[in-house]
């Protein structure tokens, strides 16, 4: 027999899977509070976290307590640190349209060997990097311990009519820095993609003897993927047919 708590248990998930959409929702809610100046001592205020917790439930229909959201935020801080270190290297480029980090397989293999934490970023990218960049220009997470669940009930609330000048300056500086970095990465990404064009792939494909018609047309379909184009053109010429047959059959 179902108990009266069954609906609550379904609604509240103690160990949920953080999907890309839920992560983006949390990042956007946090960024909104940062932009509104709901911070104290370079940390999100209790008022901000209360709003984020309630709004997250309203928009997603999934119940999370404040500590759970803070822990996820801490995980995003670690992910942001990993991504920032990766992008400091010349041969890694951030694709804002997908949130993926593009680099040659050899570069990734060596980096992950030196820094195993980067494997998750290699596979999934960081779609909320833009939001995190702006958030962590203001918020310093190490100064914000996770609070007891009900401590916010006793917090002193101080009204804040507008963001402080220090917060505004930090956000403005972050936006300028991010815009400059974005232009550089866009240029680098364009140059990288120009080396692995669809036309070049077709030209090389036409030069391979013994390509079955089914493999040929499947290859054209695969070449819509930039990673497939890069792999194909980076292979030795005598290995390309074998790769195509493995990939397309």
pLDDT tens digits for range 177-233: 555 555 555 555 555 555 678 888 888 898 898 888 888 988 888 888 887 888 888
- Residue bearing tokens 């205020």: 45
pLDDT at 200: 84
Residue 169 has pLDDT above 90, yes or no: no
pTM, rounded to two decimals: 0.55
What band does 145 get if pLDDT is binned at 50, 70 and 90?
very low
Identify the residue with better confidence: 96 or 25: 25
pLDDT of residue 2: 46
- For residue 167, give the nearest of 139, 142, 129 by alpha carbon: 139
The Cα-based distances of 223 to 50, 199, 211, 229, 231 in angstroms read 48, 10, 15, 5, 10
User: How far is it, in rounded angstroms, from Cα 48 to Cα 29?
Assistant: 9
pLDDT at 170 over 70: no
Q: 182-214 as b/e, with b when 16 or more CB fall inside 10 Å? A: eeebeebbeebeeebeeeebeeebeeeeebeee
Separation of alpha carbons 244 and 161, rounded Å: 62
Angle made by CA atoms 178, 116, 195, in degrees to the nearest 5: 55
pLDDT, tens digit (0-9, with 9 covering 90-100), for 21-70: 999 999 999 999 999 999 888 889 999 999 999 999 999 999 999 999 99
For the segment 162-182, the average pLDDT, to the nearest whole number, is: 54
**Half-sphere exposure in the Cβ direction for 94 (13 Å, CA):** 26
Mean pLDDT of the chain: 78
Backbone angles phi, psi at 236, to 5 degrees: -60, 145
Over residues 13-26, mean pLDDT: 81
- Check residue 83 and give its pLDDT: 94
The predicted pLDDT at position 58 comes to 95
Which residues is 40 bridged to in the sheet? 43
Nearest residue to 131 (alpha-carbon basis) of 220, 28, 14: 28
**Between 192 and 93, residue with greater pLDDT:** 93
For helices 66-87 and 20-35, the axis angle rounded to 10 degrees is 90
Question: Which residue did the predictor score with more confidence, 152 or 4?
Answer: 4
């Amino acid at each position: 027999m179902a108990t009266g708590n069954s609906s609550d248990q379904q609604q509240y998930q103690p160990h949920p899977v953080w999907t890309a959409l839920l992560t983006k929702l949390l990042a956007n809610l946090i960024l909104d509070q940062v932009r509104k100046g709901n911070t104290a001592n370079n940390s999100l205020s209790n008022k901000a976290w209360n709003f984020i917790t309630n709004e997250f439930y309203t928009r997603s229909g999934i119940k999370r307590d404040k500590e759970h959201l803070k822990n996820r935020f801490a995980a995003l801080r670690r992910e942001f640190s990993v991504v920032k270190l990766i992008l400091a290297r010349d041969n890694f480029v951030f694709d804002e349209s997908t949130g993926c980090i593009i680099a040659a397989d050899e570069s990734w293999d060596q980096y992950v060997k030196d820094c195993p934490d980067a494997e998750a970023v290699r596979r999934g990218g960081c779609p909320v990097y833009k939001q995190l960049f702006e958030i962590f220009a203001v918020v310093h997470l190490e100064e914000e311990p996770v609070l007891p669940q009900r401590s916010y009930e006793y917090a002193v609330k101080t009204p804040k009519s507008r963001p402080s000048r220090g917060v505004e300056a930090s956000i403005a500086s972050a936006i300028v820095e991010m815009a400059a970095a974005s232009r550089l990465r866009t240029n680098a990404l364009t140059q990288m993609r120009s080396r692995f064009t669809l036309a070049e792939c077709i030209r090389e494909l036409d030069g391979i003897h013994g390509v079955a018609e089914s493999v040929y047309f499947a290859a054209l379909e695969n070449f819509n993927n930039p990673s497939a184009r890069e792999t194909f053109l980076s292979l030795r010429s005598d290995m390309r047919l074998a790769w195509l047959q493995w990939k397309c059959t």
